[in-house]
Amino acid sequence: MATAQPIPAHGRAAAVRPVGMSRREFMRRTGGAAAAFALTGGAMGDAPATARRKGQPATRPGKTGLVSDPIYKKHKTGPGHPESPKRLDAIAQALAARDIAPHLAAVEPRAATKQDILLCHNEALYDHVAERIGEGAATLGWADTNVSADSLTAAMKAAGGAMSAVDAVVAGEVANAFCAVRPPGHHATPSKSMGFCVFNSVAVAARHAQAKHKIARVLIADWDVHHGNGTQDIFYADPTVFYFSTHQSPWYPGTGTKAETGRGKGEGFTMNRPFAAGAGRKEILGAFGELAVRMDEFKPDLVLISAGFDSRKGDPLGGFTLTDEDFADLTGLMLRIAREHAHGRLVSLLEGGYALPGLASAAAAHVKALIGS
Ligand SMILES: [Zn+2]
């Protein structure tokens, strides 16, 4: 048991700007260096605002990191599309609440590089995405992949934001983090974007954690109403990344049966719990309870959540019945797994969620539970 233990800092400290502090004020207080650090993706020394005395271990402060950026709203999907920029406005409004905002610290998202994207996707996919968007195409040419002029920049910063959140959590700059990013990512496979997703941000974050921070084992838990086929594909033969998903079945994208458990060395490191429409607290919290037991063997060093809120009751793209309280309880369960095995290191990423008021209240319940940790 490794509860509330100081964690060692790996690599550079991340630049963390308190929510509510303007970028200008942040620049003033840190002599500009920390902000420049964030903007350049960390291509300089430790940020003064976050520097520690040599040899002093990072302690875990109480704040929850929040990754957000105006670019995430510039990925345009067209009129009437459920995966719209308004989703982030709804979440931002909910997170501005008096009992949430003061407990958040902004984590500046970097832009992922092509090399980062290639940790999980093949070069043909990256080039295809860059080319189509560069040509001004309205879709990537695959189903449910509407894009606009700024979609490549947004997708690179969605993956990069998740990487920055991992850096901030591993360095102990924030207790945990939520990434309010678009486009979502869990349907993106090594070779194909699909289902509103361009690049698989949670997968890139997992690989980044392993590559940069020498983290051995990563858990990705996915409570989106849809199966994260892309994340499953990327890690299907990999025993170092455990993928767990609860999702509606039969439903888009059609994958994620209980029999899909991994391949080769990865056998036993994928766990799917599909449920019929109408499933809710009992089924899904029950499945996450099973996951907690399985994690006593796997012992993740980092916990990532594909937080889709389309599994909430009333979502137009799903038939599950989870409530805001259920999302708070699921979050609590994930925090316990993180505390027990991973020094509390947990990063959550927005995936789906399409009923704006429900998305906002569920995300707020989730973040409040992260804060409460
Ligand atoms: Zn979904």
Indicate which CATH number applies to the domain containing 348.
3.40.800.20
Predicted pLDDT at 62: 78
Mean pLDDT of 279-304: 98
Q: How many domains does the chain have?
A: 2
Lowest model confidence (mean pLDDT) among 28-32, 123-127, 220-224, 275-279: 28-32
DSSP string, 14-49: PPEEETTS-HHHHHHHTTTHHHHHHHTTS-SS--GG
Whether residues 24 and 106 share a domain: the answer is: no
pLDDT on residue 36: 31
pLDDT computed for residue 20 by the predictor:
64
For the entire predicted model, the pTM comes to 0.86
Residues 194 and 282 in one domain: yes
Please give the Cα distance from 228 to 306 (Å, whole number). Answer: 8
Model confidence over 314-337: pLDDT tens digits?
A: 999 999 999 999 999 999 999 999
Tell me which of 187, 213, 227, 341 is the catalytic residue: 187
Q: What is the mean pLDDT of residues 85-111?
A: 98
% pLDDT > 70, the chain: 83
pLDDT at 5 over 70: no
**Is residue 191 located within the same domain as residue 106?**
yes
116-131 confidence digits (pLDDT tens): 999 999 999 999 999 9
Residues 24 and 84 in one domain: no
Structural domain including 40 reads: 10-50
The tokens describing 245, both together, are 């998903």
Q: How far is the CA of 20 from the centre of ligand 1 (A)?
A: 30
> How far, in Å, from the CA of 313 to the mean position of ligand 1?
13
What would the pLDDT profile of 51-82 be if each residue is shown by its tens digit? 333 333 333 467 999 999 999 999 999 999 99
Least confident of 36-40, 160-164, 306-310: 36-40
pLDDT at 275 over 50: yes
Residue 180 falls inside a structural domain: yes
Asked if residue 32 and residue 69 are part of one domain, the reply reads: no
**Residue 57 is assigned to a structural domain of this protein:** no
Q: What is the pLDDT of residue 8?
A: 36
Residue 367 in this model has a pLDDT that exceeds 60? yes
Residue 288 above 60 pLDDT? yes
Q: Are 354 and 298 within one domain? A: yes
Count the residues in the chain. Answer: 373
**Is residue 29 located within the same domain as residue 119?**
no
Res 152: pLDDT: 98
Cα of 290 vs centre of ligand 1, distance in Å, is 22
Please check the confidence at residue 185 and state whether its pLDDT lies above 60.
yes
Average pLDDT, the chain: 89
Q: How confident is the model at residue 24 (pLDDT cuts 50, 70, 90)?
A: low
Average pLDDT over residues 273-288: 98
Largest CA distance in the chain: 56
From ligand 1's centre to the CA of 169, what distance in Å? 26
Q: Please tell me whether residues 242 and 122 are part of one structural domain.
A: yes
Q: Residue 215 Cα, ligand 1 centroid: separation in angstroms?
A: 28
Does the annotation mark 187 as catalytic? yes
Question: Do 21 and 106 belong to one domain?
Answer: no
Are residue 94 and residue 31 in the same domain, yes or no? no
Is 185 within the bounds of a domain? yes
Closest CA to 370 of 316, 331, 327: 331
92 and 37 part of one domain: no
Say if residue 11's pLDDT is above 50: no
Q: What is the mean pLDDT of residues 283-292?
A: 98
From start to end of the chain, where are the E strands? 16-18, 64-67, 104-107, 176-179, 218-222, 241-248, 270-275, 302-307, 346-350
pLDDT of residue 6 exceeding 80, the answer is no
Instruction: Please give the average per-residue pLDDT across 153-178, as a whole number.
Output: 98
Q: Is residue 2 part of a domain?
A: no
Mean pLDDT of all residues in 170-186: 98
DSSP character for 79? T
CB 155 within 8 A of CB 120: no
